[in-house]
A and B are shown apart, each in its own frame.
Chain A
Amino acid sequence: MRTTIRVVRTAVILICMVWSVLGAAQESHVGKLAGNAKRGKALYVRYCIFCHGPSGDGRGESAPYLDPKPRDFTKALFKCRSTPSGTLPLDRDLYDTITRGIHASGMPSWKPLLRRERVDLVAYIKTFSSAFQEEKPGTPVPIPPEPPDSAESIKRGADLFQSMNCWSCHGKDGRGHGPSAAALTDSQGNPITPFDFTSGKRFKCGESNQDMFRDLLTGLDGTPMPSFAAAMSADQKWDVVHYIRTLSSSGKHMELKHLIGGQ
């Protein structure tokens, strides 16, 4: 009788361990909200499947007609993260991308969806790649407070824009036509153009200075944009942010402001 209980107990523990590993990938957590992949699948079929495809590989029916191409979730490689290059994003990062959309692409802001629905979608998206079961997300990079903007900071930023070779892709004027720009491809082999800093205040992964700092720190995985985590100190990165801001045109177009965080 005691042996039976022991065997059953071990079996239950083993089953729970296996279940928790499998189950963990079916769930997501953003703030107080918990998402569920089963509900997320119904939402994915309604909203996402035509671009991102039924297998999440970015080969939806509309994909051949889109540029840039929809993300291939099976590679678990995401542009907009708060984690170091080469590591998985947090659930929050995926949630923010869904909420904010990606500027100048076919990915709209899905803010009109309920918060719970967006968290459910994150849970389902994670099921497309086994990486989410095998690895944990990276440790989020800290973003220190921004020092005040100043002419000296901008000048230092301009020098760094030169010495860090940003101009080779983004061009000396920041328009995205640097000498290396024509040869650039993303990780799927599709041609990709460097961001045109003169196009306005919105960048791919947000529009605040903090967003830009974070982009420099994490890099945009899956694209030629590298992480400068090893290359520049925090202050140097802020200088580059201040310099790049001077390249953005100021409100030439009436654009919708999209804010992340909160709802």
Chain B
Amino acid sequence: MKKNLYLPIITVAILALSFSGKVTAGPGSPADSSSSLKGEVKFEGTAPKLSRIDMSADPLCAKAHPTPVTTEEVVVGANSGLSNVVVYVSDGLAPNTYQPSQQPAVFEQKGCQYKPHVLAMQTNQKLDVVNSDETTHNIHPNPSNNREWNMTQPHGVPLEQTFAREEIAIPVKCNVHPWMRGYIAVFKHPYFAVTDKDGGFDLKGLPPGTYTITAWQEKLGTQTQKVTIGAGEAKTLDFVFKE
């Protein structure tokens, strides 16, 4: 009779172990600091003409921009660099639980625009929303995989939130100022970057392995590439988005 109990006990034990997972201390470990994956995202073709934003509805916004401001859907810099592209590991990571960074991610409303236009952060990482403008904004993310909320934020009043689930990417708007548009990409793991004005990105501390890397742009869609990184290797990976 005792033999018949081993099977259920073992089954329960295996189930328990598989659900527990392993917890790592944080992004990367000292042993892998020499591996890196850098690259550039470029735009090929004629850069689209971006529309001018009319901020006259709120004089406090118009005041902040003596020269005209445009929308930011496709921002091509000098040397055809494409900024605001989220580059991240979409496949190949071990199923670990990653602790969120202790540093808050900052999303700023400045000149009645979102700075940065695209923010990338981790699940359960603190999001600091800052209103540097004199006018009152409301910050209204419209997620499909997270809880939606909508908060008014006058100048200088602090606001903290978190997102519990991975989502690439959550559109954010301000209902008071309809032209305002931003994105927040939320990841379970820390291996992501948003390209700078030259289109450059650096996925620091990526452990050795074979990965699928995805580049996401809000209007031009996604592209993926596979890459294998050995220990201590510095690899380069470029993406090109066409118009």
Q: Which residues from chain A sit less than 8 Å from chain B, CB to CB?
A: 3-4, 7, 10, 75, 77, 84-87, 131, 135, 163-165, 168-169, 179-180, 183-184, 187, 219, 221-232
Contact = CB atoms under 8 A, between A and B. Distances in A.
A222 B154 CA distance: 21
Nearest to B149: A86
The 5 A-B residue pairs with the shortest CB-CB distance, nearest first, are A86-B149, A224-B175, A183-B178, A226-B138, A179-B57
B210 to A, nearest CB: 33
A85 B139 CA distance: 12
A227 B151 contact: yes
A85 B5 contact: no
A223 B142 CA distance: 10
13 contacts: A7-B8, A75-B148, A86-B149, A168-B177, A169-B176, A180-B176, A180-B177, A187-B148, A224-B175, A226-B151, A227-B149, A227-B152, A232-B152
Interface of B: 1-2, 5, 8-9, 12, 57-58, 135-140, 142, 147-154, 157-159, 161, 175-178
B150 A219 contact: yes
Q: Per DSSP, are chain A's interface residues mostly helix, strand or loop, or mixed? A: loop
Contact of A226 (B1, B157, B161, B175): B175
Nearest to B134: A163
A165 B151 contact: no
Contact of A230 (B159, B177, B178): B159
Contacts of B148: 75, 77, 86, 187, 221-222
B151 A225 contact: no
A230 B150 contact: no
Contacts of B136: 163-165, 231
Given A85-B149, A179-B57, A222-B148, A168 B176 contact: yes
